[in-house]
Structure 1
Amino acid sequence: MHKHHPDIHDVVIAGGGPVGLFLACELRLLNLSVLVLERSEDPHSPLKRLPFGMRGLSAATLEALYRRGLLDEVVAAQRANDAAGDMATSAHGKEQSRRPAGHFAGIQFYHEDIDSSKWPYRLPSPADTSMAVALETLETVLARRASAMGADIRRGFSVDAFHASDEEVAVHAGGETFRGRWLVGCDGGRSAVRKAGGFDFVGTDPECTGYSVDVEMADPEALPPGRHYTPTGMYTHARPGTIAMVAFDGGAFHRVQPITREHVQAVLRRVSGTQVTLTKLRLATTWTDRACQATAYRQGRVLLAGDAAHIHSPLGGQGLNLGLGDALNLGWKLASTIRGDAPADLLDSYPLERHPVGARVLDWSRAQVALMRPTPSTRALEAIIRDLIATRDGATYFAERVWGVSLRYDLGGSHPLVGRSVPDFERLDGTKVGSLLREGKGLMLDFDAGASLQALASRWRGRVIHVAGDVRDSLGLRAVLVRPDGFVAWASEAVPDDREIAQALSRWFGEPGDAGESA
């Protein structure tokens, strides 16, 4: 049985960005003591606001926020952001002609070209397929929720080092030492936890330096708006002065010198082929397409999540969604392990499930950079991708990847729903399954209301909630076991077999018996 100790936190999280904050919320759902150490004293930054702070939330992320009761708050906060006025409503679908649904290396695909009938396990839900949000808005909502749930968030503490034993981890930050049973590095691409822990971080070197700048120009008309591929790179101009550009220089100018107006002007002239003159540089940041991943996400009592575990170019906006997916997958598994009611190998399933997802996103990022290279052969390949993405099957494929609809963990099991996000089944009283996951516990969905199934689920009381009753569309299923993260662990269209269900329950929720006092 798990008990708190006043001098030691259950989990210390290095990094108070969206990934660390969401993980803190997940751990607090199961009443663990959580300390978040964030290097930055001020959570606000112009780079987190629009336009540079705009992020696309995938279907998987929106489902996670909805299931934890956060989606409405995020939507409301984004609507209140005057600079983003109508972006938030995209979460609930705003119909208009040729509505952009996403892009691959800047090549748009559109909602009306997507065949959603290819996704038979998606039911109508408040969580739509995509939404644009300012990073600052999302981070503010998550910080507010984590604090309200009792997480201890301390700013101005940069993790310098740690010492791990078989029982705990001593974390050194800001001249102080904090003790935790576990340490999770959510401290970004230059993660101090990853470096101090000696995690192998392997991948591919950069081909380009990307720039996102806000400028004033002597003659804004000299630079045509929109996205343009050139013999020396690519640039996008949104008037009056928001510019993104990519220079294929091997990443030579990323974080090696101050970003000056003169330097940005020189790069813009070279990439655009124009003699544009910049009169003021208001804001600027750089990035590269370096793509690396930790070979292991865990060493003893130290784990990695988010950019600490994997980095890639921001093209396509996959990084935030990937990190939040890590937090959702890790949270309940680490909490169950600490409480002592988890199967022995439950925590091992975190890297087994999430490492392949990260590797796939890194390759997706690399493919986009490859399609932007300033060569005749790349432009020829781009024309072919453009033709493919304009087809119904092509748009559907790219939507699956960009929106995260195709996400499926290899959990075994014979039913094709196993490993996928649970459909948002609607009960006859109007209750939806998504709203039943707010406590962070598993669900046994019993559409036949079988007495034996209820008795079986009751043996895992405190960890699994038995939900009986018919639904408006059961998709032909009799019963479904849902993990706390909303992914299907077991499903059956036949009369359920008690032994088979018991095995599935034991695999994900440990031995039968009431959960410990932390539940």
Structure 2
Amino acid sequence: MNTDVVIAGAGPNGLMLACELSLAGIRPLVLERLPEPAQENRANGLVGQVVRMLDRRGLYERLTANKDTPRPAPGFVFGALPIDLSVLEDNPLYLLQVPQRRIEQMLEERAVELAVEIRRGHELTGFTQGVDGVSLQVSGPAGPYSIETRYLVGADGGHSVVRKLAGISFPGVTTDDTIARTAHALVPAELIDPATGGLDIPGYGPIPPFLHHRTERGLFVYAPLPGAPAPLISTMEWNEQGAEGPLTFAELRASAQRVLGVDIAFGPPDGQGPHLTRKLTGGNTRLAERFRDGRVLLVGDAAHVHSAIGGPGLNLGLQDAVNLGWKLAADVLGTAPAGLLDTYESERRPAAERVVMSSRAQSALIAPGSAVTGLRELVTELLGDRRGVRLIADLMSGADIRYDVGCDHPLAGRWAPDLDLADGVRLAELTRDGRSHLIDFTNGDWGYPATVGLPGSDVPCTALLLRPDGYVAWATDAPHPDAQSRASLLAAVQRWLG
């Protein structure tokens, strides 16, 4: 069979890419080697720009089951250090507590609505590239078969078969000096603080919910996630020998006692589950040598893996998918300007490098020992300054990303701010079609159809060109359309939209 785009991997990143391609007029085929969706949650929420990105596709409402718009978080942590985000007038850090299983379920439902074909139990086993396409070898329930496609996208995780078969190296660092233990566990009711939802442990003191709690012996997390069968208890220890075999509650309880110095009498949850019990030794920080090899591209963990501290994985991977989707679709449809698809790597690789840097810094800050404690005291002072809070909030959310779009306006290349449009429409409602938009606050004639914005003292420009991924391709402060501003708009249209 022939198809325009094949995506290997039906995790969140592959499904998000499938949705984006469909919005742009391309119906991809998704291959997933697992016969059923995974039951284990690899993540328990979304952190950063991805929350607002989902809102701009109408998907935030599906996850929350209400029509409320996203609101920034009043606080968060960096390397297990608390950050007071309320000091920022335009706080960019958004949070959404939702299991990864639910995210995948929602994205699959949306993909099916958009007529995406998802083949579960079908594994990519090989491919060869040609000038005009890629020939795939697939193993399915009925046996092996072949597919001809114009592009192949690897969204198949950190052990990506696509990346390996393409010969793309995956340099980085593997460590084996940590053991992370996580399980759903019941905690004695008398230890739960009704005011905070966290723990108040005799002989130790309060432990806030959801936040990494660091001691000089390790890390402890108590996360009573909404809708979960029981709270999640997590520990991390350094240079500690782990028992062989699957994690037991006795092992987790002993680890918590070593980290905190007191015993917590937690035990297995009630009911059938599924209940998480997971033990991970060491970790990987790796970045693909390149995100593209001819007609083969990588998104998400196939392109980058790093520590999950701070929850950056889905924020980075889902935005990879949204950045790539419209560009790949334009290339397939023949409307892409020259070099558009190359900007996927030039824009997203620096974003991945920032996340890797952030993850490494946070890993250093949570490590045990008195020297690290001294470093934490210094960073705590820096986080007491609004400029320090702004730097970390922008870094963790991805708000510090600015693409080179060829326009020097302060908004150009950045995530478009939330704007009020005519007829009471929010920008997030306008962008659900996944298209580009010219937004005009002057009621002038720019030579292109425009969406009318509501002028006001807080409007950051007089007109802007919005790319399909929510980033500003062009903006101007010209009070009305003139020859110069029209020419600069035309250049932006030609550069990004063809």
What is the TM-score normalised by the length of structure 2? 0.84
Shift of 1:363: 0.7
Instruction: Tell me which of 471, 491, 495 is aligned to 1:487.
Output: 471
Distance 1:275 1:445 in 2: 59
Alignment pair present for 1:61 and 2:55: no
What is the match of residue 516 of structure 1?
none
Residue by residue over 1:149-170, the C-alpha shift from the partner in whole angstroms, topping out at 9 and shown as x without a partner, is: 0000111223222222222222
Residue by residue over 1:430-456, the C-alpha shift from the partner in whole angstroms, topping out at 9 and shown as x without a partner, is: 1233322222221122333333x22xx
Cα distance change of structure 1 residues 421 and 115 upon mapping to structure 2, 3 Å threshold:
same
Instruction: Tell me which of 199, 202, 215 is aligned to 2:171.
Output: 202
Shift of 1:89: 7.0
Instruction: Tell me which of 218, 226, 235 is aligned to 1:233.
Output: 218
List aligned pairs for 1:300-339, cutoff 5 A.
300-339=294-333
What is the match of residue 165 of structure 1?
130
Residue by residue over 1:123-150, the C-alpha shift from the partner in whole angstroms, topping out at 9 and shown as x without a partner, is: xxxxx83322221222111111100100
Instruction: Compare 133-142 and 262-271 and name the one that shifted more.
Output: 262-271
Which residue identity does 1:234 align to in structure 2? L
CA contact (8 A) 1:235 1:245 kept: yes
Alignment pair present for 1:396 and 2:395: no
Shift of 1:335: 0.3
Cα distance change of structure 1 residues 469 and 61 upon mapping to structure 2, 3 Å threshold:
closer
Shift of 1:253: 6.4
What is the match of residue 359 of structure 1?
353
Instruction: Tell me which of 107, 110, 119 is aligned to 1:145.
Output: 110
Distance 1:482 1:115 in 2: 24
Cα distance change of structure 1 residues 208 and 89 upon mapping to structure 2, 3 Å threshold:
farther
Residue by residue over 1:53-111, the C-alpha shift from the partner in whole angstroms, topping out at 9 and shown as x without a partner, is: 411232x21232222222211221xx7xxxxxxxx979346xxxxx7521111222234
Alignment pair present for 1:244 and 2:234: yes
Shift of 1:33: 2.3
Alignment pair present for 1:105 and 2:79: yes
Cα distance change of structure 1 residues 432 and 152 upon mapping to structure 2, 3 Å threshold:
same
What is the match of residue 505 of structure 1?
493
Shift of 1:215: 4.1
CA contact (8 A) 2:172 2:286 kept: yes
Instruction: Tell me which of 283, 286, 291 is aligned to 2:276.
Output: 283
Shift of 1:493: 0.8
Distance 1:293 1:100 in 2: 32
Distance 1:430 1:106 in 2: 41
Alignment pair present for 1:181 and 2:150: yes
Shift of 1:176: 3.1
Residue by residue over 1:419-478, the C-alpha shift from the partner in whole angstroms, topping out at 9 and shown as x without a partner, is: 011223222421233322222221122333333x22xx3xxxxxxx53246534572523
Distance 1:134 1:446 in 2: 39
Distance 1:427 1:237 in 2: 42
What secondary structure is seen at the aligned counterpart in 1 of 2:469? coil
Shift of 1:43: 1.6
CA contact (8 A) 2:246 2:278 kept: no
What secondary structure is seen at the aligned counterpart in 2 of 1:91? coil
Cα distance change of structure 1 residues 209 and 170 upon mapping to structure 2, 3 Å threshold:
farther
Distance 2:279 2:309 in 1: 13
What is the match of residue 227 of structure 2?
none
What is the TM-score normalised by the length of structure 1? 0.81
List aligned pairs for 1:77-92, cutoff 5 A.
91-92=70-71
CA contact (8 A) 1:312 1:365 kept: yes
What is the match of residue 183 of structure 2?
213
Q: What runs of 5+ residues in structure 2 fail to find an aligned partner?
A: 192-200, 225-229, 270-274
Q: How many equivalent pairs are there?
A: 463
CA contact (8 A) 2:18 2:27 kept: no
What secondary structure is seen at the aligned counterpart in 1 of 2:450? strand
CA contact (8 A) 1:215 1:283 kept: no
What is the match of residue 85 of structure 1?
none
What is the match of residue 195 of structure 2?
none
CA contact (8 A) 1:223 1:276 kept: no
List aligned pairs for 1:42-61, cutoff 5 A.
42-45=36-39, 47-48=40-41, 53-58=43-48, 60-61=49-50
Distance 1:150 1:278 in 2: 46
Shift of 1:28: 0.5
Distance 1:278 1:427 in 2: 52
CA contact (8 A) 1:11 1:34 kept: yes
Q: CA RMSD in A?
A: 3.0
Distance 1:238 1:132 in 2: 11
Residue by residue over 1:211-239, the C-alpha shift from the partner in whole angstroms, topping out at 9 and shown as x without a partner, is: 22234689987895625534442223458
Distance 2:174 2:123 in 1: 27
Which residue identity does 1:69 align to in structure 2? G
What is the match of residue 513 of structure 1?
none
Distance 1:470 1:25 in 2: 30
What secondary structure is seen at the aligned counterpart in 1 of 2:400? coil
CA contact (8 A) 1:66 1:72 kept: yes
Distance 2:28 2:375 in 1: 49
Distance 2:429 2:340 in 1: 25
Cα distance change of structure 1 residues 232 and 132 upon mapping to structure 2, 3 Å threshold:
same
What secondary structure is seen at the aligned counterpart in 2 of 1:371? helix
Shift of 1:402: 2.2
What secondary structure is seen at the aligned counterpart in 2 of 1:429? helix
Alignment pair present for 1:129 and 2:94: yes
Instruction: Compare 476-485 and 365-374 and name the one that shifted more.
Output: 476-485
Which residue identity does 1:283 align to in structure 2? L
Cα distance change of structure 1 residues 241 and 446 upon mapping to structure 2, 3 Å threshold:
closer
CA contact (8 A) 1:15 1:38 kept: yes
What is the match of residue 196 of structure 2?
none
Cα distance change of structure 1 residues 267 and 62 upon mapping to structure 2, 3 Å threshold:
closer
- Over the matched positions of the two proteins, sequence identity in percent amounts to 35
Instruction: Compare 380-389 and 141-150 and name the one that shifted more.
Output: 380-389
What secondary structure is seen at the aligned counterpart in 2 of 1:154? strand
CA contact (8 A) 1:90 1:131 kept: no
Distance 1:439 1:145 in 2: 13
Residue by residue over 1:15-69, the C-alpha shift from the partner in whole angstroms, topping out at 9 and shown as x without a partner, is: 1111111100000012212111112222251x32xxx7411232x2123222222
Cα distance change of structure 1 residues 507 and 233 upon mapping to structure 2, 3 Å threshold:
same
